[in-house]
Structure 1
Amino acid sequence: MRRLLDRRGTTATAPDRHTKLYPNYLGRIAPEDRDLILPSLMNTLALVGTRDDLRARIASLEQAGIDELLIQPVIDPPTEMAQFAKLLT
């Protein structure tokens, strides 16, 4: 987090930190920021992987009591949602 704050020229308590930290909120991660994305972070906060990986992860979330997923398509929402729907069938 410190590297991201330093890179954006802000602090954890600055009133404008959110606009500084996330200039392309819900967009693609800029290539120059990809070094900040750790595999453990992606595995914890996102559904990423092969079809079998995703189905297993969703099943384990369901077993843990999760009954709703929030999906935020970014680039091509209709295609992304269609692909997600196919994943679940």
Structure 2
Amino acid sequence: MNAHKISLSNVRVRVAAAVGGLACLGALATGALLQQSNVAVADGEMQLGTTVTPTAPANAPAIAKAEPAIKGPAPLPTEEQGLPG
């Protein structure tokens, strides 16, 4: 009865081949998906290198100046006021 010996280097080669093969399959599948998605993008209007602004910008900002609703020093929270008296 001859027992077939499996060496550690043989296992490493098989694992490396399996990982490499799966990586190639993943790259091919990703390329195929990207190629299909490029076809759908081509039917829209393309603009190269320019930005078009259809309306004129506002002359003044919507709020002239931001001001706080409460003026003056704020009281400390009760936990930071210290001991009474």
TM range (shorter): under 0.3
Relative to the length of structure 1, the TM-score reads 0.20
Identify, as 1 or 2, the structure richer in helix.
1
> Greater RCO between the two (CA within 8 Å, min separation 6)?
1
Which structure is larger by alpha-carbon Rg, 1 or 2? 2
TM-score (ref. length: structure 2): 0.21
